[in-house]
Amino acid sequence: MMKQTEYSRIIAGAMTWGQWGKGFGSDEISDLIAYCSDIGLTTFDHADIYGGYTTEADFGAGFLRSGVPREKVQFISKCGIQFDSEKRPNVVKHYDYTKAYIIWSVEQSLKNLQTEYLDLLLLHRPSPLMEPDEISEAIASLTKDGKIKSFGVSNFLPSQIALLETSVAVSANQVEFSLTSNEVMYNGILDDCRAKNRMAMSWSPLGSYFKEGTTKEKRIEKAMRPLLEKYNVSADQLLLAWILKHPAQVRPVVGTATKSRLKDALMAMEIDLELQDWFLLLEASQGCEVP
C-alpha cells in the first residue's frame, strides 16, 4: 500500500482550471502551480475528461513553465470515462477498462501533463463490464514501465473494490464526501478505507452548502454561526475541518483556483474541532439527533 505521507493533506483539484471553469492560460496555470507548491499544497488531482479532454494539456504547459521540480509535487489522474466531445467522438457515454485503453489513456495523460509518471492512477467510476484480470494486466504493465507509482479507484463501493482485488491491489478511493453528502460514513466506504489502509479522498468537500439553500443548508448555516465565531474561521474552513476530523484521514480535493481560498483551505488543518461541535454539525445536516 502507498505511504499516505507522500501526498499533501489538502489536494488541489484542477478540474476548473481550464475550459470547465476559469479558462486559465499557461502563464496563469504556471503561477498557480508555483503558488500551491510554495504553500505546501503539493498534490494535484486530474482526470483525462476534464475540460473535454483538454485540461491536462493546459496544466502540463503551465507546469513546464513553472519551474517546479517534478519530485516536489504529486500528480493524480483518472481514466475510464468516455463521452462524446470534439476530442473523442463517441456514440454514447460509457466506461472503457480494456487493457489497451487503460495503457493508452495513461500514456496520453503523461504526454499532456508533461511528466514521465503518475503518482496515482484512479479508475474514474466502476463499470458493470470491468474485468479484474484485464485491469490487473494493464496496471502491472504500467507499473513495470514506471508510468504509474500507485493504483486506486474513484466512486467505488467496497464490494466493487473487493472484486478488483481478486486480481490487483487497490490503494486509494476518491469519493464524494462532505457535511451535506456524507453517505460514505454509513455505506462501508470509509470503513473499508480504514480497515484496508487505503487513502481516502473527498471530491466536492464543501458539498451543496454554498449552492442550494435548501432546508438542510439553512439548518447547517444556523448551526455554524456560533462556531464560526468560536473558532474564528470561515464557513469553507469549518466545512473542511469537519471532514478532516474523520478518523479515515480523508484528504479533501478542493476545487477552487483562487489563491486566497487555497491558502485558507490549508489553514483548516489547524482547526481543532471539538467532538460535540462535530456532532452538532452532523445533526444539522441530518435534521435529527444521531440514533
CA separation for the pair 234, 241 (Å, rounded): 11
Q: Which grid cell is 45?
A: 488531482
Nearest to 82 by CA among 74, 73, 91: 91
Contact 281, 224 (CB under 8 A): yes
Q: Which residues, 6 or more positions from 289, have their beta carbon under 8 angstroms from its beta carbon? A: 283
Known catalytic membership, residue 50:
yes
Q: How many CB atoms lie within 10 A of CB 34?
A: 16
Contact 15, 53 (CB under 8 A): no
* Three-state DSSP class for residue 199: strand
Helices (H) and strands (E) in the chain, counts: 11, 10
Q: How many residues does the chain have?
A: 291
Task: Please identify which of the residues 7, 35, 50, 231 carries the catalytic annotation.
Answer: 50
Contact 11, 45 (CB under 8 A): yes
CA 242/CA 280 separation, integer angstroms: 11
**Residues recognised as catalytic:** 50
